[in-house]
Amino acid sequence: MSGPGTVFRETSAQPRTESVPFSHLSLELGHLYMEDFAEGPARLRRHFAAVRPWVDAARAAVGPLPAGKRPRISTCFLIDDYFSRLSTPAELIPPLLEAAAEAGLGIDYLARESGCAVAEPGHRDRTELAEAVLHRLVESPPPGSSGFRPPVSRTGWLTNGRRTPSHRTSAALDATGAVWTPPSETGARGHSVFVDVELWSGPEDERLWSCAFLASVWQLVRLGLLRHDGQAVLAPTPWDAKEFPAEWDALPPVVRLNPLATPFTAYATCSVLPARFLPVEHAVRVVLDQVHVESEALRQVAERSAAEGLPVPTAVVDRTSYVFPPGL
């Protein structure tokens, strides 16, 4: 029965949320800048030698699984080709893989950081991935606030609480008698750890996305929670060629180096990173706490992980973990 309030929709107008395969854990073996690679193979060997014991610990932490099943763990490595390109894939990737192998580690999936900004640049199915995640941010207004402040889509800044009001800090100089108020963290335990995250710099039509925001996109991709028109993004491309290209844009955003690897996307992530990334990853957690993820994508993960007897935390941010080894 139809009426004035009836709305008809074509089935094709409601894109199906594509399902993706899942490992139990996506284990990141590192994230280095081009400057790190420029130090040579010895720098890479030191990196993987320091990473190895923590990788073993992260693997052990996954099991045991119900019914004696073996954990599905895939490894990945993110290369910064977004902020600088001091070398080429052909020059950089082989020494990287050799250094990992010397430490007894294998890299299943290799990803380019620029892919977290724009997926498939120059291709017909180009996706402004960072821009899409930006539009999914839902800011959490601090308790007791009026909710008034410029939106993150305009300012490019996202916070985990209440900012300091923008007025004079001295009552003697302020005719209104207003006094300085400190920032405060929403949900602080005793004392605040206030964070204000810059998501990009530059004009709107030439945004330079921040490392923290691209790392947030990277986490969402590894967790299998991003879709574009219902389709999964940054699906790994098998790489069977013996040589790597001379241009970064000729390399897919995510390549599968190991044909026997378990899925790239996973129920949970663990990243083994140098300590210098700690503030960046704190910012990532602020972003992940305020990203609206498609309900169908969340449902798929919840149902499949529960069926395996390994239910995931409700909050997306709680599905991520980190190791910051000393001296890395």
Residue 268: its pLDDT value, please? 97
Residue 154: its pLDDT value, please? 84
Q: How confident is the model at residue 292 (pLDDT cuts 50, 70, 90)?
A: very high
Q: Average the pLDDT over 249-269 and give the result.
A: 96
Residue 169: its pLDDT value, please? 47
Q: Average the pLDDT over 41-46 and give the result.
A: 94
pLDDT for residue 20 is more than 70: yes
CA-wise closest residue to 268 among 17, 18, 23: 23
Distance CA 85, CA 80 (A): 8
Residue 11: its pLDDT value, please? 43
DSSP 264: S
CA-wise closest residue to 160 among 290, 316, 279, 278: 290
Residue extents of the structural domains in the chain: 16-135+209-278+292-323
Give the tens place of pLDDT for each residue, 160-218: 888 887 655 455 555 555 678 888 888 888 898 999 999 999 988 889 999 999 999 99
- Minimum mean pLDDT among 160-174, 214-228, 250-264: which range? 160-174
Q: How confident is the model at residue 243 (pLDDT cuts 50, 70, 90)?
A: very high
Is there a contact between 256 and 236 (Cβ–Cβ < 8 Å)? yes
Residue 98 sits at φ, ψ, to 5 deg, of: -65, -40
DSSP letters, 169-233, are S-GGG-TT-------EETT-BSB----EEE-EES-GGG-EE-HHHHHHHHHHHHTT--EETTEES
| 25-34: burial string, b at 16+ Cβ within 10 Å, e else | bbbbbbbbbb
pLDDT for residue 317 is more than 60: yes
Give the tens place of pLDDT for each residue, 30-43: 988 888 888 999 99
- Minimum mean pLDDT among 19-28, 29-38, 43-52, 174-183: which range? 174-183
Q: How confident is the model at residue 241 (pLDDT cuts 50, 70, 90)?
A: confident
Residue 35: its pLDDT value, please? 87
Strands, sheet with 254-256, edge to edge from the N-terminal-most edge strand? 237-238, 254-256, 109-112, 73-79, 23-32, 266-272, 320-323
Residue 167: its pLDDT value, please? 55
- Minimum mean pLDDT among 53-67, 96-110, 115-129: which range? 115-129
- Minimum mean pLDDT among 21-25, 53-57, 123-127, 152-156: which range? 123-127
Residue 250: its pLDDT value, please? 94
Q: What percent of the chain has pLDDT over 70?
A: 87
Give the tens place of pLDDT for each residue, 110-159: 999 999 999 764 444 567 999 999 999 998 766 655 555 678 888 899 99
Q: E strands, 73-138, where?
A: 73-79, 109-112
Distance CA 261, CA 238 (A): 11
Residue 4: its pLDDT value, please? 47
Peptide bond into 64 cis (omega under 30): yes
Residue 259: its pLDDT value, please? 96
- What are the helix (H) ranges across 2-107? 34-38, 41-62, 89-102
Distance CA 77, CA 113 (A): 10
Task: List the structure tokens of 304.
Answer: 């499949």
User: For the chain, what is the mean pLDDT?
Assistant: 87
Task: List the structure tokens of 316.
Answer: 């997306």
CA-wise closest residue to 115 among 297, 288, 237, 278: 237
Task: State the chain's maximal CA–CA distance in angstroms.
Answer: 73
CA-wise closest residue to 236 among 274, 213, 214, 263: 263
